[in-house]
Amino acid sequence: MKKINHIISANQFTKKDLREIFKITDRMKTGRYRKPLKNKILATLFYEPSTRTRLSFESAMLKLGGQVLTTENAKESSSAFKGESLKDSIKIISSYVDAIVIRHPDNKSMDVAAKASKVPIINAGNGTDEHPTQAILDFYTISKRLNKFNNIHIALVGDLKNGRTVHSLINLMGKYNTHFYFISPAKLKLSVNYKNFLDSENINYLEEKLENIINKIDVLYMTRIQKERFESLSEYKKINRSYLLSPKIVKRMKKDSIILHPLPRIQELPEEIDDDYRSYYFKQAENGLYARMALLYRILRS
C-alpha cells in the first residue's frame, strides 16, 4: 500500500525536508508557479475557531489552481452536531477530496483521523498538543530573517503548557543547535515531555525571567494565555496578565532580533509595539500563506 503523506507532528520533518520545504516556500513567495494542483480538492474541517490557518490554507490551495470544500464551524455545521464520530466523518470526506486540513479540540484527533483517512491529513491544531504547519512558517520566518538555522537564542513566553504552536516549534527547532528560554507563569510551565526531548537531543534550555535574558535573545516568541483550556474563568483571570510586553522591555532587545506571535494576540502584545522595526508577526502570518502553499504542493503534486 502507498504511504500517505500526513502532516501530524513537527517531529516528522527532517532537516532535509525543511531545506526542501523552505526552498519551495521561497519560490511560492516570488509568485513563479502555474496551477500545479488543478483538479485537486482540499477539505478544511475546523472544529475550533481559526482565522489565519484556515484562510491561508484555502488561499494557498486556490492560488495553486486547486479547489476547496470548507466547514468553518464543523462542531455545529457538520454531522458532528448530530453525534457522528470523527472517524466516520473522515472516512466519508476522504472519499470526496485529495487532502483534509483539520483543527480539533481533542489531542488524539489526528491519530483517529489519520487511521480513518484514505488521503493525507494535515494537522491544523489538535487540542493543546501540536500545530506543525505553524512551526514550519515560524521557523521559515526566523531562519530567513536571521539568515541561520543554528545558534539561535529564542525565548518562548506565555502559555507553554497549553500553547500548541510552542510545542511544535520546540519539536522543530530542537533538532538544531537552539538555545531555548522558557518564560511562563508557574501554572503554565512546559510539560516535562518536551524537556526530556530536548535533553535527549542535547539542547540547552533555561527557565528564566524575561528581564534577565531580554538583551541576549534573537527571537522573542510571545503567546496568548489559552483561555479556552482553563476549567474556570477565575483561574484564567488570576494569570491572564502575567506577561505584558511594553516598549520599555522591547527597547532592551538586540538590534537584529525579532518579535513573533502566532496570533491572535490579546493584551500580552500591545499595539504600540507594532511600530517597532523588530515586530515581525504580520510578516510571519503572511509567510503562512507561502509555507502552506509549499506544503500542499509537496503533498499533492502528481
Name the residues annotated as catalytic.
Answer: 52-53, 82, 103, 131
CA-based nearest residue to 171, from 146, 206, 196, 141: 196
Of 165 and 178, nearer to ligand NCD (C-beta) is: 165
Q: How far is the CB of 164 from ligand NCD (least distance, A)?
A: 5
Q: How far is the CB of 172 from ligand NCD (least distance, A)?
A: 15
The C-alpha atoms of residue 89 and residue 266 are separated, in whole angstroms, by: 34
Q: How far is the CB of 225 from ligand NCD (least distance, A)?
A: 9
| DSSP characters over 233-296 | HHHHHHHTTS----HHHHTTS-TT-EEE--S---TTS-GGGGGSTTB-HHHHHHHHHHHHHHHH
Cβ neighbors of 240 (< 8 A, separation 6 or more) are 225, 227, 266, 267
Return the exposure string of 191-222: e unless at least 16 CB atoms fall within 10 Å of the residue's CB, then b.
Answer: eeebbebbeeeebebeebebeebbeebbbbbb
Of 162 and 257, nearer to ligand NCD (C-beta) is: 162
Return the exposure string of 20-42: e unless at least 16 CB atoms fall within 10 Å of the residue's CB, then b.
Answer: ebbebbeebbeeebeeebeebbb
The C-alpha atoms of residue 90 and residue 68 are separated, in whole angstroms, by: 16
The C-alpha atoms of residue 133 and residue 60 are separated, in whole angstroms, by: 13
Of 152 and 166, nearer to ligand NCD (C-beta) is: 166
Q: How far is the CB of 288 from ligand NCD (least distance, A)?
A: 8
The C-alpha atoms of residue 25 and residue 18 are separated, in whole angstroms, by: 10
Of 90 and 263, nearer to ligand NCD (C-beta) is: 263
Q: How far is the CB of 52 from ligand NCD (least distance, A)?
A: 5
Taking the CB of residue 130, how many other CB atoms lie within 10 A of it?
26
Q: How far is the CB of 95 from ligand NCD (least distance, A)?
A: 28
The C-alpha atoms of residue 197 and residue 14 are separated, in whole angstroms, by: 15
Q: Which residues bind ligand NCD (CB under 6 A)?
A: 52-53, 125, 131, 134, 164-165, 224, 262-263
Return the exposure string of 227-251: e unless at least 16 CB atoms fall within 10 Å of the residue's CB, then b.
Answer: eebbeeeeeeeebbebbebeeeebe
Of 22 and 46, nearer to ligand NCD (C-beta) is: 46
Of 91 and 229, nearer to ligand NCD (C-beta) is: 229
